[in-house]
C-alpha cells in the first residue's frame, strides 16, 4: 500500500516552502499562501476529480503507510513552531514585519495540514493517535475541538444544536465568531455531562481540559522563553490563523444543509446528503480525503484512505475543491451567488415535498 499512500504525503511540501520563506525572507514568505490559495486550486481545477476508492473493508495492517503520514506530521509541526520562535528570538535577517507574515504563513500550514491531520487522529480510539491529535490541536490553541467535533458535531450536524453547521444566508464573517465561541461552550458542556454520567466532578483529573490548558500554557511559556512577548504574539497569531482556517472549512462543509426533525422529536439519521462533497483529486491528496466529507459523516469510523466517493444523486457536490471554496467564502456576495442555488437544488432533490428548509440563521 506504500504506492497508494505516497500521493497523500504531498502535504509535506509545505515545510519546504516555510523553510524557503524563513531563509530568504521578503516576497518568499508569500510562497506558502500563493501555493495554498492560488497554485493548488488552479492545478486542482485542471486535474479534475477522481472517483477511485480503496475497498471500504481494507484492513488496518494494509493502511500502515497512510497512518504513518499523519503520525510523522506532529514532530514536523512542532519543529516548525519552534523554528519560528527561534527566528523571532535571534534571527537578524528577518524584520518584525517579516516574522509576523511568517507566523501567518505558518498558521496556514498548521491549520490547513495540521488540523486536518489532527481531525483524522482524534477520530481514532487508541490513545496514541488521539494523543497526537490533541497535541496538534493544542499547538493551534484549539484543543477543545477534540471533544466538540467527535462528541458534538457528529451528533448534531445539520441541526440548530450544532455550532459549526453554517446557516443559509449566513456569511462566513458572521459564522466565524459564533462558531469559535459556541464550539468552546459546547465542548465544555459535553465534558461536564460526560463526567457527570461517571459521577465525577469537573475538576477531576480525567477532564481533558486540564491537558489542553497545560499544553497551551507550556507553548506560551516556550514562546516567551524563546522570543519574549513578541514570541507569545507570534505563536498566538499562528494559532488564530490556523483555527480560523478550520472554521472556514466547517463553513464550507455544511453550509445551508439540514436534517429533518422527526415526529418523535429526534432528527433523521445523518446521511451522505447532509454534507457537501467533492472528489477533486489533488486537493484530496493534500487534505487526506477530507473533501469526501459526505462519507466521513455517514461512516465516521472509516480512516481517510477508505472514504468513498458519492455522486450528485447521493450527495451535494461543491463546484471546486476546498482551497478555492475557502477563498470564495471570504467574499459573501460571491459565495451566496454560487452556493445558494445549490442549496435550493439540494432541497428539491432530497426533500421534494417541500417540508424541509435549509438550516437558517
Q: Which segments of 86-208 are extended strands (E)? A: none
Task: Report whether 176 contacts 134 (CB < 8 A).
Answer: no
Nearest to 147 by CA among 109, 192, 205: 192
Q: Which residue, chain included where needed, has cell 439540514?
A: 258
Query: CA 257 to CA 10: how far, in whole Å?
Result: 31
Q: Which residue, chain included where needed, has cell 439519521?
A: 269
Helix spans in 255-306 (H): 281-286, 293-298
Three-class SS state of 18: helix
Give Cα separations from 348 to 260, 338, 344, 351, 357 (angstroms).
Answer: 14, 17, 6, 6, 10
Q: pLDDT above 90 covers what percent of the chain?
A: 88
Q: Which grid cell is 291?
A: 473533501
Q: Which grid cell is 248?
A: 472556514
Q: Name beta bridge partners: 261.
A: 267
Q: What is the pTM of this model?
A: 0.94
pLDDT at 188: 97
Within the chain, which residues score under 70 in pLDDT?
1, 354-358, 360-361
Residues 6+ apart with CB under 8 A from 194: 151
Query: CA 318 to CA 324: how far, in whole Å?
Result: 10
Q: Name beta bridge partners: 267.
A: 261
Q: Write the pLDDT tens digit of every residue in 3-60.
A: 789 999 999 999 999 999 999 999 999 999 999 999 999 999 999 988 888 888 888 8
Query: CA 232 to CA 220: how far, in whole Å?
Result: 6
Query: CA 100 to CA 234: how far, in whole Å?
Result: 6
Q: Which residue, chain included where needed, has cell 480510539?
A: 125
Q: Which grid cell is 143?
A: 484543543
pLDDT at 90: 85
pLDDT at 357: 63
pLDDT at 57: 84
Amino acid at each position: 500500500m506504500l504506492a497508494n499512500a505516497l500521493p497523500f504525503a504531498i502535504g509535506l511540501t509545505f515545510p519546504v516552502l516555510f523553510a524557503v520563506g524563513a531563509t530568504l525572507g521578503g516576497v518568499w514568505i508569500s510562497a506558502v499562501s500563493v501555493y495554498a490559495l492560488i497554485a493548488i486550486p488552479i492545478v486542482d481545477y485542471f486535474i479534475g476529480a477522481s472517483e477511485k476508492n480503496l475497498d471500504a473493508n481494507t484492513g488496518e495492517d494494509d493502511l500502515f503507510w497512510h497512518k504513518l503520514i499523519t503520525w510523522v506530521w506532529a514532530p514536523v509541526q512542532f519543529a516548525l513552531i519552534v523554528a519560528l520562535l527561534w527566528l523571532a528570538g535571534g534571527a537578524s535577517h528577518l524584520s518584525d514585519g517579516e516574522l509576523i507574515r511568517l507566523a501567518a504563513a505558518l498558521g496556514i500550514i498548521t491549520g490547513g495540514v495540521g488540523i486536518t491531520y489532527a481531525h483524522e487522529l482524534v477520530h481514532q480510539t487508541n490513545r496514541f493517535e488521539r494523543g497526537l491529535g490533541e497535541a496538534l490541536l493544542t499547538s493551534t490553541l484549539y484543543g477543545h475541538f477534540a471533544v466538540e467535533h467527535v462528541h458534538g458535531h457528529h451528533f448534531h450536524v445539520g441541526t440548530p444544536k450544532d455550532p459549526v453547521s453554517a446557516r443559509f444566508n449566513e456569511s462566513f464573517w458572521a459564522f466565524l465568531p459564533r462558531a469559535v465561541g459556541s464550539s468552546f461552550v459546547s465542548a465544555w458542556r459535553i465534558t461536564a455531562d460526560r463526567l457527570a454520567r461517571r459521577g465525577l466532578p469537573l475538576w477531576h483529573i480525567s477532564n481533558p481540559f486540564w491537558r489542553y490548558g497545560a499544553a497551551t500554557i507550556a507553548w506560551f511559556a516556550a514562546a516567551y522563553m524563546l522570543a519574549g512577548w513578541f514570541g507569545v504574539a507570534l505563536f498566538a497569531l499562528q494559532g488564530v490563523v490556523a483555527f480560523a482556517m478550520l472554521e472556514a472549512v466547517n463553513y464550507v462543509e455544511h453550509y445551508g444543509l439540514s436534517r429533518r426533525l422527526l415526529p418523535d422529536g429526534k432528527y433523521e439519521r445523518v446521511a451522505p446528503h447532509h454534507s457537501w462533497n467533492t472528489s477533486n483529486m489533488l486537493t484530496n491528496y493534500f487534505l487526506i480525503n477530507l473533501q469526501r466529507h459526505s462519507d466521513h459523516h455517514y461512516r465516521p469510523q472509516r480512516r481517510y484512505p477508505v472514504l468513498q466517493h458519492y455522486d450528485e444523486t447521493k450527495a451535494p457536490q461543491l463546484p471546486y475543491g476546498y482551497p478555492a471554496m475557502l477563498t470564495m467564502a471570504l467574499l459573501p456576495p460571491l459565495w451566496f451567488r454560487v452556493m445558494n442555488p445549490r442549496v435550493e437544488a439540494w432541497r428539491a432533490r432530497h426533500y421534494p415535498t417541500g417540508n424541509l428548509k435549509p438550516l437558517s440563521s
